[in-house]
A and B are shown apart, each in its own frame.
Chain A
Amino acid sequence: MADIPDNAPQHCPGTDSTEAGKSSACQGCPNQSICASGAAAGPDPAIEEIKEKMSLVKHKILVLSGKGGVGKSTFSAHLAHGLAQDEGKEVALLDVDICGPSIPKMMGLEGEQVHQSGSGWSPVYVEDNLAVMSVGFLLSSPDDAVIWRGPKKNGMIKQFLRDVDWGDVDYLIVDTPPGTSDEHLSVVQYLSAAGIDGAVIITTPQEVSLQDVRKEINFCRKVKLPIIGVVENMSGFICPKCKNESQIFPPTTGGAEKMCTDLSVSLLGKVPLDPNIGKSCDTGKSFFTEIPDSPATLSYRKIIQRIQDYCEKKK
């Protein structure tokens, strides 16, 4: 391996190896801690290959949130649906939540399998212009758990970005798991040469969620990822019977609005809780067609328009 330094101890696994700093040969090496932290690993050759592949992709958008269950996948799925309503646009949706892939179910693609072709893995198509890829398509049963540590997850993400045959795409939307760890670092790192348009950050109104989202915004700043804006989801609930609004997740500290002002990021919009959204996700249908008149749907449309404007302007 080329990445073994000249003065390295015997059996050095190489600074690029996932074993760097951790194998038995590393014990006692003065650079062990540097290797273990991953700082020594040089640029992965895959980054260039991914850049090559991604030259056909016009816009790349990450959907992030520090907190789980705030609606990242719901948002990603419907951002994809919304953009794909314009038949002239090609949209791709990549699910990098390796341990809890929800996208197959939300897109109504459960049980679908990925096929291998000469030019790589073929994604699964929901419509002619909407392609989806998820680890869910690689599992044999819905009970299968992906019990993987970081390096294996990173390998999978690399494959998703490098080996999936997306073709010419206008928008690539990447849905992520909660947190600021392996998956997020890998996506940002692998797409660094190709360039990411920006991240959409999803939150719910309560402080318990906002405190995680602030961390995510700091993460974006640390890795120099532009932030398109914040979406406040589950913001208020309108009772289907009496039409009165109540706050299930009360914005005790001012909600996303105040956080956005404090941290000077833009607020893309608020989406109210609507039981029909959960229902259409469970049945794998798009709520743009299921409930076109719901206030939540209208709010979604506005947000998607803003994201589109942002991407167009950037070009």
Chain B
Amino acid sequence: MEQTQDGGNLSGVHHIILVLSGKGGVGKSTISTEIALALRHAGKKVGILDVDLCGPSIPRMLNAQSKDVHQCDSGWVPVYVDQEKSISLMSIGFLLEKPDDAVVWRGPKKNALIKQFVSDVAWGDLDFLIIDTPPGTSDEHISTVDALRPFNPMGALLVTTPQAVSVGDVRRELTFCKKTGLRVIGIVENMSGYVCPHCTECTNIFSKGGGEELARLSGVPFLGCVPLDPLLSQSLEQGKDLMQEFPNSAAYPAISSITRQILDMASPQS
């Protein structure tokens, strides 16, 4: 109990952001990764905690899939993505023997690991800790929010794609935030519009504006639209930094604008 009172391993963490979405495959891990990279460009120290236990994507997106987690006196040492140690990362992906091993766990086992992830990772001093979650409103989410409550997280970032089917799931996630008393930082609409590389015609593959409208209806800030961008998928597939590799990509300005808004919101708090 003593650990929780003085903050334990999270005492040096200034802002905790959860990335949530009721729907899968809308880009939670993508947005988590890109915001972490953008925050690093702004000179911040960032940690990413991946609590998607059945489908961890972050290690690959940061090209860290082959690294290992080590033990130290105060707990698990997260994996550092770069030489400067400005991005640290913890994921179940590092604990699996083979990358294709399936984690076939029911709720209680997942909850126990999440508790350990929250209390036993030696993050050190961080400006931001970004927590990437699996889709839904179930065990992982309840456990993460419960475990983080003593640390007063900054809030949740909700990710959606524009179509009604996805927005419907995110409406449920908003209710989850309300019920658990988690503040909503804002909504991000991902995969909104695709510019054909051959004729530059913009097609709304998954329709358009659903996230923005949901934000308006529910009185939550709308942080921006991130377009479908093959350069973004490519940089994530290869674990590269979009901002360094493709500064002219269509997704870049959208992500830096979202990051700026998060920084603005965080500054009066600190």
Residues of A within 8 A of B (CB): 22, 36-38, 66-70, 73, 98-100, 102, 105-106, 142-151, 153, 177-182, 184-185, 204, 206-209, 211-212, 214-216, 218-219, 222-223, 237, 239-242, 244, 246-250, 252-253, 273, 275, 278-279, 281-282
Contacts and interface: CB of A to CB of B under 8 A. Distances in A.
Interface centre among B61, B142, B169, B234 (most CB of A within 10 A): B169
A145 B173 contact: yes
B22 A275 contact: no
Contacts of A208: 29, 57, 60-61, 236-237
A22 B108 contact: yes
B233 A144 contact: no
B196 interface: yes
B176 A147 contact: yes
A150 B234 contact: no
B32 to A, nearest CB: 13
Given A100-B22, A149-B142, A177-B24, A250 B100 contact: no
Which of B61, B168, B234 has its CB near the most chain A CB atoms (within 10 A)?
A: B168
B107 A181 contact: yes
A216 B103 CA distance: 9
Nearest to B109: A37
B190 to A, nearest CB: 10
B199 A241 contact: yes
Given A100-B169, A207-B60, A282-B165, A178 B207 contact: no
Contact of B194 (A99, A214, A237): A237
Interface stretch (B38-46, B81-89, B133-141): B133-141
A68 B233 contact: no
Contact of B136 (A37, A177, A237): A177
Contacts of B228: 248
Contacts of B138: 98-99, 147-150, 153, 182
B161 interface: yes
Contacts of B100: 211, 214-215, 218
Interface of B: 22-26, 29, 53-55, 57, 60-61, 99-111, 134-139, 141-142, 161, 163-166, 168-169, 171-176, 179-180, 194, 196-199, 201, 203-207, 228, 230, 233-234, 236-238
B172 A67 contact: no
Given A22-B108, A151-B107, A219-B102, A144 B57 contact: no
A143 B142 CA distance: 18
30 contacts: A66-B54, A68-B135, A70-B24, A100-B136, A102-B168, A105-B164, A142-B171, A145-B179, A146-B137, A148-B138, A149-B138, A150-B108, A150-B138, A153-B138, A178-B55, A178-B134, A179-B55, A180-B104, A181-B54, A182-B138, A182-B139, A212-B54, A215-B102, A241-B196, A242-B198, A247-B230, A250-B234, A273-B205, A275-B204, A275-B207
A180 B54 contact: yes
A67 B165 contact: no
